[in-house]
Amino acid sequence: MPASVHSQDPDQSMMDAAPQEQDLQFEQEEVPGMEEKRIVVLPGATETAASFQFEGEGHTLGNALRYAIMKNPQVEFCGYTIPHPSETKMNLRIQTYDTTNAVEALEKGLDTLMELCDVVSDKFTVSRDAFNAADADKMRS
């Protein structure tokens, strides 16, 4: 066999390729003590289709984020997977129409989900306070 086809070291170990970072970048807020990246763009991304890997996340964020992103009419497809149950990683795939790009769709989905969580939290607080006030009135009677 030609020497150019095979390596001279027959015991050369194979290593997984590290995910390549694309030109698609995220604005990260400065959070004290948080140097690691929690969202990585997986290889093969284009402007209108990209896969993102979220570290330390699972079905809770995956399904909620998928729902929020699919509410955007400029998104053609959004789905998520958990590659393996023993790893805390969640992969999210976004495909958009030509009017927007995948990173913008992800950012809009995250913003929408944050706003939804704020509304739920506010409504819960108001209801809890009303319940506690009514309970206090019953105790006085």
Domains belonging to the chain, first-starting first, are 39-140 (3.30.1360.10)
- What would the pLDDT profile of 20-72 be if each residue is shown by its tens digit? 444 444 444 444 554 568 999 999 999 999 999 999 999 999 999 999 999 99
**Residues near 99 by beta carbon (within 8 Å), at least 6 away in sequence:** 74
* The CA-based dihedral angle spanning residues 60, 86, 36, 117, taken in that order and rounded to the nearest 10 degrees: 10
Q: Decide: 69 and 33 in contact? Cβ < 8 Å.
A: no
62-67, Cβ contacts within 8 angstroms, sequence gap of 24 or more: 62/90, 62/92, 64/113, 65/92, 65/109, 65/110, 65/113, 66/92
| Whether residue 139 has pLDDT greater than 70 | yes
Residue type, 90: M
Residue 88: name the closest of 117, 66, 60, 51 by CA.
60
| Whether residue 134 has pLDDT greater than 80 | yes
The larger pLDDT score, comparing residue 111 to residue 141, is at: 111
**Measured between alpha carbons, how far is 84 from 21 in angstroms, rounded to an integer?**
22
Full-model pTM: 0.69
- Characterize 93-108 residue by residue with b for buried, 16 or more Cβ atoms within 10 angstroms of its Cβ, and e for exposed: bbbbeeebbbbbbbeb
**How is residue 68 annotated by DSSP?**
H
Span 78-105, mean pLDDT? Answer: 96
The token duo for 127 is 């209801």
